[in-house]
Amino acid sequence: MILDKFRIDGKVAVVTGANTGLGQAMCVALAQAGAKVCGVARRSCAETQAMIEKDGFVFKEIIADLATTEKIPFILESVKEAFGRVDILVNNAGMILREDAENVTEEDWNRVISLNQNVVYFMCQAFGKEFIAQGSGKIVNIASMLSYQGGIRVPAYCASKSAVMGITKALANEWASKGVNVNAIAPGYMATNNTDNLRKDKDRSEAIIDRIPAGRWGTPEDMSGAVVFLCSQASDYVNGFTLAVDGGWLAR
């Protein structure tokens, strides 16, 4: 049955940035689809854990700061110690700093690139080795509309998210034949803590909504179907693609 292909029963999934927003919603979705979920964050994932465990699903918290690549071996070993294997990686942790391009400091540039680009690549590398060895695995990188567009006052974010799309394609080219699917999701304007200031600005918020064909901000739950699809057997012949979940923003 076709719906069975969307089940991920018994799989072990790792989601970074799991304590709030998009990461939290994707953790819940993957758990509901049958996975054992490891949520990685630098702060407590207690809320995410409670949301998952109240329905009888399995969640493990891993506290790790992904400002650099230093904690990647610890994350991988923690997952394997808890569950013996890993099948899915969702690279969701990221940051955005808004500043006029002429005023961006090298320090701030490097902070954004380190988390959004370097950590994503080396997480893919570390987990990809596991997936290649076992002959299967799913990687979903969280890109952005700014993987396609330039944005305003976010040059480092734009550069890093453009890189995420490129990394996704490059790894898919090498790993698709080895049973590893590498894809990405590009969220649109989502109602999360990253967009608080934009949503509080009435004029800016209305301008954004006016440009979205769906006529609303996205919600973290809008990511659920896309991430389950890309982590399931249903997407076995999808490789190197970045799926926009944006209410039609890119179609305008």
Residue 51 lies inside a defined structural domain of this protein: yes
Residue 215 lies inside a defined structural domain of this protein: no
Share of the chain above pLDDT 70, in %: 100
User: In this structure, which amino acid lies at residue 44?
Assistant: S
Residue 199 lies inside a defined structural domain of this protein: no
Residue 208 lies inside a defined structural domain of this protein: no
Residue 202 lies inside a defined structural domain of this protein: no
pLDDT at 196 over 90: no
Packed helices 106-113 and 155-175: angle between N→C axes, nearest 10 degrees? 30
Residue 16 lies inside a defined structural domain of this protein: yes
Residue 148 annotated as catalytic: no
Residue 160 lies inside a defined structural domain of this protein: yes
Give residue-wise pLDDT tens across range 146-183. Answer: 999 999 999 999 999 999 999 999 999 999 999 999 99
> CA nearest 36: which of 16, 4, 59, 55?
59
Q: What's the mean per-residue pLDDT of the chain?
A: 97
The domain in which residue 12 lies consists of 2-191+220-244
Residue predicted with more confidence, 33 or 204: 33
CA–CA distance, 22 with 35 (Å, rounded to integer): 17
pTM: 0.98
CATH of the domain at 178: 3.40.50.720
Residue 204 lies inside a defined structural domain of this protein: no
pLDDT at 104 over 90: yes
Give residue-wise pLDDT tens across range 2-21. Answer: 999 999 999 999 999 999 99
Give residue-wise pLDDT tens across range 119-137. Answer: 999 999 999 999 999 999 9
- Structural domain count, the chain: 1
pLDDT confidence bin for 50, thresholds 50/70/90: very high
pLDDT of residue 139: 99
CA–CA distance, 137 with 179 (Å, rounded to integer): 7
pLDDT at 195 over 90: no
pLDDT of residue 194: 82
Catalytic residue among 121, 148, 157, 189: 157
